[in-house]
A and B are shown apart, each in its own frame.
Chain A
Amino acid sequence: MTYAIIAYVLSGLLWVAYIATVLARLKRARKDAR
């Protein structure tokens, strides 16, 4: 059970971190395009 929870939590954290980087890069690119 512990391994299953670790798998889901780590996957969730990875997605949150990745989407945060995409949004941050998007914000900077839009600023550059002004």
Chain B
Amino acid sequence: MNRNVPDWWRKGATWLWRAALVLVGISLAMIAFRAPIEAVMGPVQKIVYIHVPSAIVTLLAFGIAFAAAIAYLATKQWIWDAISAASCEVGLVFATVVMISGPLWARSAWNTWWTWEPRLTTFFILWILYAAYQVIRASIRSSSKRTISAVMAIVFFVNLPIVWKSVEWWRGSLHPRSVTMTGEMRQVLLFSMMAWIVFFAAVLERRLQLEWAREAAAREAAARDAAPGGFQPGAPEARRA
């Protein structure tokens, strides 16, 4: 197995990164210069253009991780585990952006940094679960690492519909059930969502390259150990290691 991904993949990734950076750049320019200043909250309302797209991409990322985990358990092919693990990690970064931008919005809108209302509480639980996924996966050294990771990605996904529906299922939610935006605000929000989805795809691709290289390294090591005169437990090299 080559330590680098195939040429077609690398060429496609270059274009994906270019598209992602251009789109995110345009979206930031639109947020600064095109999106109108909201009448009640003022300029701080512009946090919504990074908060909402990041939340949507978080759900998308964990959804992909869930689907890939099912595919891994069904096929036992390493690439599905790689997609699931990569998507969980990138999704966690988007979730962290939500956790950073949310309190800054809340301080202006609700006069508090944090409150245990349904959407915040369920999203915080979501963040904890997927952070735990990273810690647990990194701590497993046995051959069952991929299976355990897939089970976690499937079980933790149960929280996603709860986050989504929390504003309807519980009273006292400060998040609105739905938001109606019109005109330039809507255009900028939709463009930002599209830009961050493409950015997610680009980062996911690079993270997948990491899984590819790790798989190649693991196979190289296994081939060396299996070769005559290769790694022998108890040999001087092994004792030094």
Q: Which residues of A contact B (CB under 8 A)?
A: 1, 3-4, 6-8, 10-11, 14-15, 18-19, 22-23, 25-26, 29-30, 32-34
Flag if B47 contacts A7 (CB, 8 Å). yes
What secondary structure prevails in chain A residues at the interface with B?
helix
Can you list the 7 inter-chain pairs with the closest CB atoms, starting with the nearest?
Answer: A33-B3, A29-B213, A33-B217, A32-B217, A1-B43, A33-B216, A7-B101
Flag if B209 contacts A4 (CB, 8 Å). no
A25: chain B residues at CB < 8 Å are 210
One of B3, B44, B93 near A34 (C-beta < 8 A): B3
Flag if A33 contacts B210 (CB, 8 Å). no
Tell me whether B225 is interfacial, beta carbon within 8 Å.
no
Flag if A7 contacts B100 (CB, 8 Å). yes
A33: chain B residues at CB < 8 Å are 3, 213, 216-217, 220
B214: chain A residues at CB < 8 Å are 29, 32
Tell me whether B203 is interfacial, beta carbon within 8 Å.
yes
One of A1, A10, A15, A29 near B210 (C-beta < 8 A): A29
**A13: shortest Cβ distance to chain B, in Å?**
10
Flag if B50 contacts A11 (CB, 8 Å). yes
Tell me whether B134 is interfacial, beta carbon within 8 Å.
no
| Total B residues in contact with A, Cβ cutoff 8 Å | 32
**B31: shortest Cβ distance to chain A, in Å?**
8
A-B interface pairs (CB < 8 A), number: 73
Flag if A14 contacts B97 (CB, 8 Å). yes
Flag if A19 contacts B104 (CB, 8 Å). no
Known: A3-B108, A11-B97, A11-B100. Is A19-B203 also a contact (CB below 8 A)?
Answer: yes
Flag if A26 contacts B210 (CB, 8 Å). yes
**Distance, CA A23 to CA B104, complexed state (A):** 30
**B141: shortest Cβ distance to chain A, in Å?**
16
**Distance, CA A6 to CA B104, complexed state (A):** 8
Flag if B210 contacts A3 (CB, 8 Å). no
Which B residues between 17 and 52 are near A, CB-CB below 8 angstroms?
28, 42-47, 50-51
Known: A3-B107, A7-B47, A22-B210. Is A29-B217 also a contact (CB below 8 A)?
Answer: yes
Flag if B4 contacts A30 (CB, 8 Å). yes
One of A8, A14, A19 near B96 (C-beta < 8 A): A14
Flag if B47 contacts A30 (CB, 8 Å). no
Flag B99-127 by CB within 8 Å of A: 1 or 0 each.
01100110110000000000000000000
Which B residues between 193 and 227 are near A, CB-CB below 8 angstroms?
203, 206-207, 209-210, 213-214, 216-217, 220-221
